């Protein structure tokens, strides 16, 4: 019973970090249709930026702000230099995907050239722990959960209650009609990319505090986040959060029952099963996928 609860908490904490990244991916994918692989590189660079800032004597809170802002700027740059231009050329989704893959490789190699290929850690020494009944929660896990709740809460307030959010959702529904109503679709695309970059940075910083980071550490969490999006439902902003939490708990169970080595196999195996049974995602309404592809 105790181990079951403990696993639930562990899974929930890692699911929170995945949820941040899943929403970051979805924020670009829904309104623009861009499969934003380069966000994995933006995720990877965030802790390096914080580490560099702190090592130059900048306070941690300012370093975090610097890292999050820089990641948002980096995401904006990829839109300005790559996807925005490709969209004007009428490029297909596959062309966007390949370009984003190219951007990902480019950014990751730049990170490796600047900071090296070695792994780093942000946290020094042992983590603090808190006992909640029979369950032990580490300080890092608590940070993950609190940060995810605050950031996602703020993001959903923005998306569901503000004009910007309404327009981003309108852009996702029908970009052509959105532009015909006089809105500048390009500026809203930029907003989507900027928000996505900053969310990815938040996800990365809370995870780096737990497990460390290196230049290539973005791809694996990115793929798990994509699985969360696809399994839960691609047409929603909230479904990926549920998907990420489910995946987090499932992966924690797999690590406990079998081995952490099988986590990825089970994660992607689940994706295969879901795609075969619920092509639109577990939480999506029923519709034939051929209609939308």
Partner 1 sequence: MNYALHILVYFEIYAIFALSLNLVVGYCGLFTLSHAGYFAIGAYTYAILSVSKGFAFLPATLAGCLIAGIGSLAVSLFAWRFRGDTFVVATLAVQAVIFSTLNNWFSVSDPVGSFSNLTNGPYGISAIPHTRVWGYSTDSAIAMLVIGGVLLCVCLFCFQRLLASPWGRLVRAMRDDELAARSLGKNTRLVKVQAIGIACVTAAIAGSLYAAHVRYIDPSLASFNENILVLAMLVVGGTGNLRGPLVGAALLTCMPEVLRLIAFPDALSANIRLLVYGLTLSILMHTRPQGVAGEYRLQ
The residue ranges that bind partner 1 (CB under 8 A) are 35, 82, 85-86, 89, 91-99, 101-110, 112-113, 117, 219, 223, 226-227, 230, 234, 259, 261-262, 264-265, 267-269, 271-272, 275-276, 279, 289-290, 293
User: In whole angstroms, what is the distance from residue 231 CA to residue 281 CA?
Assistant: 5
CB of 111 to partner 1, least distance (A): 9
Using CA atoms, how far residue 18 sits from 54, 96, 118, 237, in Å, is 25, 23, 23, 14
CB of 45 to partner 1, least distance (A): 14
Pick between residue 68 and residue 99 the one whose CB is nearest to partner 1: 99
Pick between residue 123 and residue 235 the one whose CB is nearest to partner 1: 235
User: In whole angstroms, what is the distance from residue 154 CA to residue 161 CA?
Assistant: 10
User: In whole angstroms, what is the distance from residue 263 CA to residue 268 CA?
Assistant: 9
Contact (CB, 8 A) for 78 and 103 = yes
CB of 250 to partner 1, least distance (A): 15
Pick between residue 87 and residue 140 the one whose CB is nearest to partner 1: 87
Pick between residue 135 and residue 219 the one whose CB is nearest to partner 1: 219
CB of 90 to partner 1, least distance (A): 11
Contact (CB, 8 A) for 249 and 12 = yes
Contact (CB, 8 A) for 183 and 175 = no
Dihedral (CA of 128, 132, 133, 135) sign: negative
CB of 288 to partner 1, least distance (A): 10
CA atoms lying within 13 Å on the CB side of residue 30: 30
CB of 224 to partner 1, least distance (A): 10
Contact (CB, 8 A) for 14 and 175 = no
Pick between residue 9 and residue 228 the one whose CB is nearest to partner 1: 228
CB of 136 to partner 1, least distance (A): 29
User: In whole angstroms, what is the distance from residue 49 CA to residue 120 CA?
Assistant: 12
Contact (CB, 8 A) for 71 and 46 = yes
Pick between residue 6 and residue 186 the one whose CB is nearest to partner 1: 186
Pick between residue 65 and residue 101 the one whose CB is nearest to partner 1: 101
């Amino acid at each position: 019973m105790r181990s079951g609860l403990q696993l639930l908490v562990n899974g929930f904490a890692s699911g929170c970090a995945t949820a941040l990244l899943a929403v970051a991916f979805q924020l670009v994918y829904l309104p623009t249709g861009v499969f934003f692989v380069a966000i994995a590189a933006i995720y990877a660079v965030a802790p390096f930026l914080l580490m560099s800032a702190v090592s130059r004597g900048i306070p941690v809170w300012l370093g975090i702000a610097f890292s999050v802002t820089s990641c948002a700027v980096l995401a904006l740059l990829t839109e300005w230099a790559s996807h925005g231009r490709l969209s004007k050329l009428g490029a297909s989704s596959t062309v966007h995907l390949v370009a984003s893959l190219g951007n990902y490789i480019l950014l990751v190699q730049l990170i490796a050239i600047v900071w090296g290929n070695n792994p780093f850690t942000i946290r020094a020494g042992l983590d603090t722990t808190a006992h909640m009944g029979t369950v032990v929660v580490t300080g890092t896990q608590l940070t993950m959960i609190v940060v995810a709740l605050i950031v996602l809460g703020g993001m959903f307030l923005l998306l569901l209650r503000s004009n910007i959010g309404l327009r981003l959702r309108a852009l996702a529904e029908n970009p052509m009609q959105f532009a015909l109503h006089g809105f500048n679709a390009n500026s809203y695309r930029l907003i989507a990319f900027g928000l996505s970059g900053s969310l990815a940075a938040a996800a990365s910083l809370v995870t780096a505090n737990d497990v460390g980071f290196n230049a290539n550490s973005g791809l694996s969490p990115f793929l798990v986040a994509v699985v969360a999006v696809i399994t839960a439902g691609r047409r929603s902003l909230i479904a990926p959060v549920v998907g990420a939490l489910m995946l987090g708990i499932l992966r924690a169970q797999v690590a406990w029952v079998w081995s952490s080595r099988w986590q990825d196999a089970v994660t992607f195996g689940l994706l295969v099963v879901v795609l075969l049974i619920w092509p639109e995602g577990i939480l999506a309404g029923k519709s034939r996928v051929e209609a939308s592809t």
